[in-house]
A and B are shown apart, each in its own frame.
Chain A
Amino acid sequence: MSFLHDYVYYIGAFGLVAIGLLIILVKRNLIKLIIGLSILDTGVNMFLISVGYIRRGTAPIFSRPGLEPDGMVDPVPQALVLTAIVIGVAILALALALAVRFYKTYGTLDLRKAKELRW
């Protein structure tokens, strides 16, 4: 059980990534694809957080007495995730705006119906 105990966050993160990838590869409805992208993003963010996470760790505030550096959570991945979340939201917003335009133009959200462009 110790393997699960140590790696549960990684397993969860890559589980989400796999679910997101599967949705993107299988689904052809634009809204579902965007949901897939969102799940994928969440998985990636969770992976980044778990890289620096320590169980029962504290915030890295050195002015408080009695706290050791090895008990502190790495703050860099959290800063990265903050940025990554903002970027993810921007992509999501743009994707949803495009989905609205797509629906207005084609009258459907099914990507297979859009056949203007071919090889």
Chain B
Amino acid sequence: MVSPVLLLAVPLGLALCVPLVGRVSRRAAGFVPVIASLFNLVVSIRLLPTVLEEPIVANLGGFPPPFGITLFAGPVGMLLSALIALAGLVVSLYALSYIKTGPTVRYHTLYMLLLVGATGVVLTGDVFNLFVFFEILCISSYALVAYVGDRAGIEASVKYLIQGALGSALLLIGIGLLYGLFGTLNMADIAARIDSVDSVPVFVAMALIVVGLGVEAAIFPLNAWLPDAHSSAPSSISAILSGIAIQVGLYAVVRMVFTVFGASSVLLFFVFLGLLTLLIGELCAFAQNNIKRMLAYSSIGQMGLIMFALAIATTGSVTGGLFQMVSHTLSKALLFLAVGYMVYRSGSLEISSLEGMGRRMPLTSFAFTIGVFSLVGLPPFIGFPSKLLIVRSALAEQGVLLQVLIGLVLLATVIEGAYFFRVIQTVYFKKEEGQEARQDAPPMALLSMFVFVAFIVVIGVYPNLITDVLESGASELLERANYIGSVLG
């Protein structure tokens, strides 16, 4: 059987080979991430059926838990790792034609390190190891945001770095507190003994860890860096940051709160925080004239929605939240990829400059439209079953409070629809004087966009393809005892 360790070891090794390959041929360096992501995708999908029956626990260095570092490959970890590999594969294909100028070899190295960091966070079962992978993810994304080296990129990167470094310091203090309290770093071991100590220091540790991880997860008061970073990065990086990086941050928060701390009493707070993040993200997106900033704010909103769904903590809503994660990765990455070439052709980030793109770049505009329809939640695209599941499971809960909150969620979706359809209208129905020649994105970029389109439509029509994985993922997150049992045996 293939070990989940390979999901980290192979891409990490290949990432360090990229500079060597780049010495031989700069063009060949771009293919290394493609190979690594393809490998990860195949391994993750092959492991998925095994993991659905029983999670795989791999002990690094042969030390049994709780002493060594464990990798925990459960349904959630494998689902997210497959999602990271898929998005990584498609975006690295896109980058083959999109990233041409600048230090391209370093771009590919950092890009792969970012993917390794993200995969590590979703697979690890050790708190300090989580911190290390989290830092790999963050440091490579700080550098990649400044890749273009223009004024906006450098400013965004500096802001992101300072806020991110502050967050990691808080996270590390939280981890130190946990170690001081429990004398162990293994998540399952901490989870098993969480009730054995005084609850005040545990709460302080949880607050520090949630705030530290929340910076990357773009939870409401901590997300000031996100619109700048996501709009100034090259579009391929924006796609990965929006589609993967922030969701990995959110996953880490959820894993800590659900599994390690088992803190069901603070979940209502997270429901409100998620709703607040959702409303603020969508309202800010509504006010934007810059297309990439609009997409970035919309990502904040989506993170809020996912957090809202996860924090309700019923099987249905957690399934919906995980489904929304998949849906957001596919749709938002597609939107950033399409916008990347639209902006490249029009030469401006203003929404008004996209007038007439429907004629000039018909295929790219078509892919963009599919992404918008899916994100807003129209059938038959993937956003529809995921949002429907969230709304249905929230309505199934008793209580007026939740019914009011779900009303606000639907209001946010209406706002989302309003600003996205404004862009669609600009792209298709505002006629420009003087027809310009048709000039679509290059074939490789179109291919990568249409891979996402295919996934969005196929999963949208047949949501049953992945509901098994999502449901067992939900039960993995909700049932701590099983997690503890499968690690400690």
Residues on A lying within 8 angstroms of B by beta carbon are: 17, 20-21, 24, 30, 33, 37, 40-41, 44, 47-48, 51, 74, 76-77, 80, 83-84, 87, 90-91, 94-95, 98-99, 101-102, 105-106, 111, 114, 116-117, 119
- B161 / chain A contacts, CB cutoff of 8 Å: 91, 94-95, 98
B176-197 vs A, Cβ < 8 Å mask (1 yes, 0 no): 1001100101000000000000
Find the residue from A20, A76, A91 having the highest chain B CB count within 10 A. A91
Chain B residue with the shortest CB-CB distance to A103: B154
Interface: B465 (CB within 8 A): no
- A83 / chain B contacts, CB cutoff of 8 Å: 128, 132
Interface: B152 (CB within 8 A): yes
Q: How many angstroms between the C-alpha atoms of A33 and B179 in the bound complex?
A: 29
- A contact patch SS: helix
| Contact of B146 with A40 in the complex, beta carbons under 8 Å | no
| Contact of B139 with A94 in the complex, beta carbons under 8 Å | yes
Contact of B176 among A20, A33, A77 (CB under 8 A): A77
| Contact of B146 with A37 in the complex, beta carbons under 8 Å | no
Q: How many angstroms between the C-alpha atoms of A106 and B23 in the bound complex?
A: 33
| Contact of B146 with A106 in the complex, beta carbons under 8 Å | no
| Contact of B155 with A117 in the complex, beta carbons under 8 Å | yes
Give the interface residue-count category, chain B. Answer: 35 or more
Number of A-B contacts (CB under 8 A): 92
Contact of A37 among B142, B159, B165 (CB under 8 A): B165
Give the top 7 A-B pairs by smallest Cβ distance, nearest first.
A51-B180, A117-B228, A114-B155, A116-B152, A48-B176, A87-B135, A44-B172
| Contact of A91 with B139 in the complex, beta carbons under 8 Å | yes
- A21 / chain B contacts, CB cutoff of 8 Å: 166
- A99 / chain B contacts, CB cutoff of 8 Å: 158
A99 to chain B, nearest CB (A): 8
A66 to chain B, nearest CB (A): 25
| Contact of A90 with B151 in the complex, beta carbons under 8 Å | no
- B231 / chain A contacts, CB cutoff of 8 Å: 117
B61 to chain A, nearest CB (A): 13
- A48 / chain B contacts, CB cutoff of 8 Å: 172, 176, 179
- A106 / chain B contacts, CB cutoff of 8 Å: 151
- A90 / chain B contacts, CB cutoff of 8 Å: 135, 139
- B143 / chain A contacts, CB cutoff of 8 Å: 94
